[in-house]
Structure 1
């Protein structure tokens, strides 16, 4: 059991967000649809319950923000590799590296949509 079952990251431009997350997360995202809407999914086994799933969506009731909770995404490899791609992909690095002891390493970024997002990895 996980404390989080699903999350949604708001976007203003789904194609721009796809380009950003595809680059920063080394291609570990994919396009999908749910109901009548398009979305971006993370390549994790959420359908089997092995991982918490989430999506990036454009919806009128969701707006990107740097206020509020920070969602930490798997960096899918070394943290420094993901962070090095953020600005090139159109985002901004707020904190490039935080050592979390036995939990690994984290960074805080602003994505192309204006969301404050954390990146997490066991490898620096």
Structure 2
């Protein structure tokens, strides 16, 4: 069991968000639909319970923010590679790298939509 079951990251422009996350997460996102709406899903095995699932969605009730809790995403590779792509992909780097000891490395960014997001990796 995971403490978190599902998360949603707000977007203003799904295509722009798809381009951003596809670039910094080594293509580990995909477009999808739910009901009559489009969304972006992370390529993790959430259907089997092996991973926490989440999506990026554009809905009027969700607004991008730099306040509140920080969600940390797996970079699917070296942290430095993901961080180095953030600004060219339309985001901003707030904290380029924190050494978390045995827990790996993290960074904090603002995504293309204006959300404060954490990045996490075992590789610097």
Common fold by TM > 0.5: yes
3-state SS of 2:21 partner: helix
Question: Any unmatched runs of 5+ in structure 2?
Answer: none
Computed over aligned residues only, the root mean square deviation of the Cα atoms, in angstroms, reads 0.4
CA distance in 2, matches of 1:106, 1:53: 20
* Distance in 2 (alpha carbons) for counterparts of 1:37 and 1:98: 37
| 1:11 equivalenced with 2:11 (yes/no) | yes
Is 1:101 aligned to 2:97, yes or no? no
The list of structure 1 runs, each at least 4 consecutive aligned residues, that deviate by more than 6 angstroms after superposition, is none
Give the distance between the partners of 2:103 and 2:34, measured in 1 at CA: 33
Give the secondary-structure state (helix, strand or coil) at the position aligned to 2:55: strand
Q: Which runs of 5+ in 1 are unaligned?
A: none
The 5 A counterparts of 1:1-40 are: 1-40=1-40
Q: Give the aligned partner of residue 53 of structure 2.
A: 53
Is 1:119 matched up with 2:119?
yes
The number of equivalent residue pairs is 124
Distance 1:80 1:53 in 2: 24
Superposed displacement of residue 29, structure 1: 0.3
Report the TM-score, using the length of structure 1 for normalisation.
Answer: 0.99
Are 2:78 and 1:85 aligned? no
The 3-state SS of whatever aligns with 2:72 is strand
